[in-house]
Amino acid sequence: MRGLGGMAKGLMMLLASLGVPTWVLPAVAFGALALMLPRLMQTMEEDRPRRMVKRAWIEDGEKQREIEREALQRASGSPTALAALAREAIQQGRRSLAEAAIERLRQTGTADAEVQRLEQAMNGPLPATSMEAAIIIERLLDNGLLSLAEAKLARFRGAWPDDTELAELAARVEAARSGAVADGEGPPDGSASPSRG
């Protein structure tokens, strides 16, 4: 505090030597504070949902989910708050909360670049080409990882919606899903993947 007081005293002496009244510096400081206060309050309010989720990790089960719902509700009015909430959820490994925050952020339509960054942080980078994406899906299918193939394929189709090879793989995944359900190898919700021989 001594350094700040010394700096203020030095400024006062400088202003006095220039003939500026001594009340000007405090008036300017209070004016600047008054101008910054609304933004400061907004920033604190936008950060509140993130802090709620950060503290919620000590809670169990339903109480934690309740705090997450409240934080998501509070953040819904602000793209900045939603992005901060999603980053915190990703950092804590709370995928469902991160997905919900990212989806609400996407719905605002104002933060497409941030949505992409958050999705990449959550899911890892996209393959460089649609051909690489197709190879990944084929390998997953060949290893019987149908649910994972479906999830990745949905993401890849979002990046390359007109790719014919990915469209063919989508049909293959759907056929595999239908066959797995018809054979009784897995429920229709995708919670189990059929195993290949």
The whole-angstrom separation of Cα 90 and Cα 53 is 11
Return the amino acid letter for 56.
A
Q: What is the mean pLDDT of the segment spanning 140-151? A: 88
The whole-angstrom separation of Cα 46 and Cα 78 is 7
Opening angle at CA 176, ends 195 and 193, nearest 5: 35
Q: What is the mean pLDDT of the segment spanning 64-81? A: 88
Q: Write down the mean pLDDT value for the chain.
A: 82
| 14-44 residue pLDDT tens | 878 888 787 777 788 888 888 888 877 777 7
Question: b or e along 115-129 (b: 16 or more beta carbons within 10 Å of the residue's beta carbon)?
Answer: beebbeebeeebbee
pTM: 0.55
The whole-angstrom separation of Cα 76 and Cα 98 is 13
The whole-angstrom separation of Cα 45 and Cα 172 is 48
The whole-angstrom separation of Cα 125 and Cα 129 is 11
